[in-house]
């Protein structure tokens, strides 16, 4: 087993979106009203939102890879002030 964590940049945007969709939809889509899930997916994994997040100096995303396959993601938010 070979696990790696790689920092995401704008060039990895599609990978990040793919992981978000693969990890969220199968497990949580049933909780949403019709069309609600699409709103959420666009809100959290849409191009505009992720581009803003990836260019924010206080936000970092990471992709977790195992044996060459992307298996998860993590995001970190730096708190300002405290």
Interval 7-64: pLDDT, tens: 999 999 999 999 999 999 999 999 999 889 999 999 999 999 999 999 999 999 999 9
Residue 82 lies in a domain: no
Distance CA 4, CA 77 (A): 20
What is the value of pTM for the model shown? 0.82
Domain boundaries, position 24: 3-77
The residue assigned the tokens 């049933």 is 30
Residue 30 lies in a domain: yes
CATH label of the domain that carries residue 50: 3.40.630.30
Residue 27 lies in a domain: yes
Number of domains in the chain: 1
Residue 36 lies in a domain: yes
pLDDT at 13: 94
Higher pLDDT, 11 or 82: 11
pLDDT at 81: 53
How deeply is 64 buried, as exposed, middle or buried, from its count of CB atoms within 10 A (0-12, 13-18, 19+)?
Answer: middle
* Residues contacting residue 18 through CB under 8 Å, at least 6 positions apart: 70
> In degrees rounded to 5, what are phi and psi of residue 56?
-85, 125
* Residues contacting residue 61 through CB under 8 Å, at least 6 positions apart: 7, 8, 16, 53, 54, 73, 74, 75, 76
- The residue-averaged pLDDT of 58-77 equals 94
């Amino acid at each position: 087993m070979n696990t790696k964590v790689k920092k995401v940049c704008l060039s990895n945007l599609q990978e990040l979106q793919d992981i978000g969709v693969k990890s969220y939809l199968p497990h949580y889509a049933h909780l949403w009203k019709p069309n609600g899930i699409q709103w959420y997916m666009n809100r959290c994994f849409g191009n505009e939102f992720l581009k803003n997040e990836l260019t924010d100096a206080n936000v970092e995303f990471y992709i977790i890879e195992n044996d060459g396959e992307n298996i998860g993601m993590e995001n970190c938010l730096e708190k300002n002030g405290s």
